[in-house]
Structure 1
Amino acid sequence: MYRKKWGNLPPATFNDDPSIKGANTGMWRAIRPVVDHDGCTKCGLCVTYCPDGYVEMVDGKIVFDLNYCKGCGICAEECPSDAIAMEREA
């Protein structure tokens, strides 16, 4: 499988348009990110490369806003420690 190097991707931008805040886009998702907090090195690449800006570092832990995460898997692909797995929604 071809895997892009994180340095070749542009940083994410956050769209703060209030008109889209009411749309629960997480309902579109078929898979979701799950973090192995013990394996996470807190590098922040998942925060940087989330195309929608719904990954945050809170109190030293990665937190996904699953109401808006679309399950694209970019965070998991770019994680250098493979601490993010994409799992099927129940």
Structure 2
Amino acid sequence: MSELKKWFELPVGAVIDEPGSAIRYKTGSWRTFKPVLDKSKCNDCLICWIYCPDNSIIVQDGKLVGFDYDHCKGCGICAEVCPDKSKAITMVLEHQ
């Protein structure tokens, strides 16, 4: 059996060498669930926008207008933090 490498002998991975280039790397294709907005229930509090780790909430003129599905990974944080009274965001299977 080969000897395990020490941490400092491992190659560096998951590095984007060119700052600001992440928008070119679409990551939503492996998502299982996707967020869906019921605009009639949304009060545009934008709590989902604050918590989204992928900056996938699209806001125009201070209002939630949709999701950037190219970069959304389907984590469901937006649906989880949506206020109890509105629950305007639900997670649905990607291929329904």
In 2, Cα distance between the equivalents of 1:55 and 1:78? 13
2:87 to 64, 82, 85: 82
- The alignment's TM-score, normalised by the length of structure 2, stands at 0.70
2:46 to 39, 44, 47: 44
C-alpha deviation, 1:63, in angstroms = 1.6
Residues 42, 62 of structure 1: 8 Å contact kept:
no
1:25 correspondence with 2:27: yes
Which residue of the partner structure matches residue 73 of structure 1?
A: 76
Give the 3-state SS of the residue equivalent to 1:32 in structure 2. strand
In 2, Cα distance between the equivalents of 1:53 and 1:29? 15
In 2, Cα distance between the equivalents of 1:47 and 1:62? 11
C-alpha deviation, 1:21, in angstroms = 2.1
Q: In the comparison of the two structures, how many residue pairs are matched?
A: 74
Higher-Rg member (1/2): 2
Q: After alignment, is 55-64 or 34-43 more displaced?
A: 55-64
The structure showing larger relative contact order (alpha-carbon pairs under 8 Å, at least 6 residues apart) is 1
In 1, Cα distance between the equivalents of 2:51 and 2:65? 13
The answer for unaligned runs of 5 or more in structure 2 is 1-18
Q: Aligned-residue CA RMSD in angstroms?
A: 1.3
In 1, Cα distance between the equivalents of 2:94 and 2:74? 10
In 2, Cα distance between the equivalents of 1:51 and 1:33? 14
Which residue of the partner structure matches residue 55 of structure 2?
A: 53
Identity %: 46
- The alignment's TM-score, normalised by the length of structure 1, stands at 0.75
Opposite residue 65 of structure 1, the aligned amino acid is D
In 2, Cα distance between the equivalents of 1:74 and 1:87? 13
